[in-house]
Every structure is written in C-alpha cells, then in structure tokens.
Amino acid sequence: MSETQISLDNPKSLSKLSDDEFQALLLEGVSRTFALTIPQLPEKLYSVVANAYLLCRIVDTIEDEVSLSSEQKKYFCSEFIHIVKTGANSEPFAVELAPLLSEQTIPAEHTLIHVLPRVIQITHKFEVDQVEALATCVETMAEGMPIFQAMDLHGGLATLADMDKYCYYVAGCVGEMLAKLFCHYSAEIAQHKDELLTLSVSFGQGLQMTNILKDIWDDAGRGVCWLPQDIFTETGFDLKNLTREAHSENFRKGLEHLIGIAHSHLHNALKYTLLLPSHEVGIRNFCLWALGMAILTLKKIKQNLNFNNSDQVKITRNSVKATILVTRLTGRSNAMLSFLFNLTSRELKTPDWTYSAPSSEAPVKL
C-alpha cells in the first residue's frame, strides 16, 4: 500500500508533519503573502509568528462565515479567546464549529478549523510572554471585529475615526503583537519598544487601508463598504450611491485623499523598520516586503482610479520579485531605504489637502 499523501484536503495526514512543516503548509493554504514573508524571520521568531497568523486567521474565519448568526459569531469568538489563553477545550470547540462552515469558506480554512487543536497545542509551547502577546491580540480582534460586523455597512463607515478603529481591530493590534514579539526576541530591539508599539499601529493601518482600497468592489459585491463617508462628504459623493459604474470625479477625489492618508501611515511603517537593527536582515525583510507591496498596490490604484475589479490593481509577480530583490540589496541601509521610499511613493501624497476632523480630533496634514 502506498503511503497517504500529505495534503490540506486530508487534515489527518498533517499529523505526520513537524510543527514548523505543519504551520508552513497551513500558511500556504490560507495566505500566499504571509507564506512568503514569515519564513524570512529568524528561526526563533518564525514558529511563533506563523502560529500568531493562524490564530488570527481562525478569528477571521469565524467573522467571515456567512452561515453563522451574530450571536453564534459572538459565542465562538468568546470561546476562542478562552481557548487561546488557557489551551483548554480546543477539541470540542473544533468539533462544534467545523460542520457549521459553509462552502463560501475556502477549503484551507475548513482544514484550519479541523486541525485547530494542534495549532493551540503549538501556541502553548511558547514562553509565557509570547503566549500573552498572542492572546492579547486575539482577544482584541475577537472582541472588536463583531462591533463592525453588526453594522449596516452598505453606505460605508461614518468617519475616518471609525475606519481607524476598524483598522486597529483587524491589523493595528497585530502590529502591536509583532512589536512585542520582536522586543521579546531582542534586547537591542526592545530599547525602542515604546516607539515601535506606537508606530506598529500605524504600520498595520497602512497595510489594512491598502487592502480596503484594493478590495472596494469585492466588498461592494457583498453589500459592504469600509470607506469613511466624511472623506467623501467633503468631495460631494454619497457612498450609498456607490456602484461599479459610479466613477464620478467626486468619488475619485475622495479615493485620492484616502491614498494620501494610507501613504502617511506607510511612512510610519518605514520609520518603524528603520528602528530595527540593520543586522536583523530577516525581520527587516519581513517588514519591507509588506511595505513595498503596499506602496506598489497604492500606486496602481492611484494610476487607475476608474478600476472596478481588484484584479485590475493587483501587483504582478514580477513586481513582487522586484520588491524582494531591491530590499535584499538595500535593506541594511537606512539612507537608501528612505531614498527609495520617497522616490517610489511621492505621487501618493495629497499636498494641497488637509483632513478636517468632524470632532475634536486633530487635523491630519498629508
């Protein structure tokens, strides 16, 4: 008899893999981007960051599952927070959740829920401070995301501040977690802990805003819009009227303003990266590849504001390869990285516009 082939289609077959092989295969199934960037990290960080991403993906799977009611999502999120913190009851949780997932959830995420007990088992092999960082992130995501899932998002979010909160719950808290893990890994990095924690939230927001802008029309197809109405009120466009055919100048102007805001967050991502020691090449690559791909995506959007499908603004494989090559050549030089960032992203700025917050929030100059 031939040996059973190891495949995501056969969750039981994954038991033959080592922990790192197991997590790598799951990452390839649920996120090509993170399957590419996480292996760049030093060996002592790889396993914990891979595990962290899988935990966050489980929360995403629960929140995105169309067959679950708001109450069910709240229940499963609450239970999962407890499981991550304690390591207990992961098997009955997986058995209860797995059959409720619909076909709209991708096969790799079905498998992720089936093998959830082993993911949790790996979580609790890490040091106490690492587990605490992971659990805090999961708790923030799992408690914050349902707030927005319960909203009527057909006409977008009310204000930029609301978008900031959403981005924090889905990405900013992940940035904080990574900063904590990097500081735990290196006393040299920990010297900048306070500044890294502050910048990490902006780093996460820049990446998430890029995803939101890229996926406007995919989200609209589901009756969802994550854009802030106050930005578009200023340009004279009502997001309730958003359709693939709605390419008014007022809408495009609002998109330009949001691109400028995203650019300012990605500038903070650069500051974050430059605080990391130049000899930590793997961690820098992990950050720079994400940053570079976000800049290139925003440039494609800015150059094609009339796009009506995310495929039209996805960066090519050659662009990804170029990002990897350039960062490998320049990643240790703060001066070169600053020069390249300013050179490649200068068209993303909106120099003649300042965001006027509707409340007591400070204006954002771009």
**Cα–Cα dist 256/254, whole Å:** 5
DSSP string, 337-353: HHHHHHHHHGGG--TT-
Is 223 strand, coil or helix?
coil
Count CA atoms within 13 Å of residue 260 on its CB side: 18
Helix axis angle, 43-64 relative to 19-30, nearest 10°? 40
For 314, phi and psi rounded to 5 degrees?
Answer: -75, 140
What's the angle, vertex CA 212, arms to CA 207 and CA 217, rounded to 5? Answer: 150
Per-position pLDDT tens, the chain of length 366: 345 688 888 888 899 899 999 999 999 999 888 888 999 999 999 999 999 999 999 999 999 898 999 889 999 999 999 999 999 999 999 999 999 999 999 999 999 999 999 999 999 999 999 999 999 999 999 999 888 888 889 999 999 999 999 999 999 999 999 999 999 999 999 999 999 999 999 999 999 999 999 999 999 988 899 999 999 999 999 999 988 876 689 999 999 999 999 999 999 999 999 999 999 999 999 999 999 999 999 999 999 999 989 999 999 999 999 999 999 999 999 999 999 999 999 999 888 888 877 654 444 444
Predicted local confidence at residue 257, as pLDDT:
96
- At 51-87, the pLDDT tens digits run 999 999 999 999 989 899 988 999 999 999 999 999 9
What is the pTM assigned to this prediction?
A: 0.92
Other beta carbons less than 10 A from residue 93's beta carbon: 20
Q: Residue 365 belongs to what H/E stretch?
A: strand 364-365
Task: Show the beta-strand stretches assigned E in the chain.
Answer: 354-355, 364-365
Structure tokens at 146: 């349902």
Angle ∠(98,104,108) on CA atoms, nearest 5:
60
**Chain segment 170-180, per-residue pLDDT in tens:** 999 999 999 99
Burial string for 216-250 (b: 16+ CB within 10 Å, else e) reads: bbebbeeebbbbbbbbbbbbebebeebeeeeeeee
∠ CA(35), CA(329), CA(316), 5° rounding? 50
φ, ψ for residue 308, nearest 5 deg: -135, 20
Q: How far does CA 200 lie from the centroid of its chain?
A: 12
Per-residue model confidence (pLDDT) at position 3: 58
Amino acid at 60: D
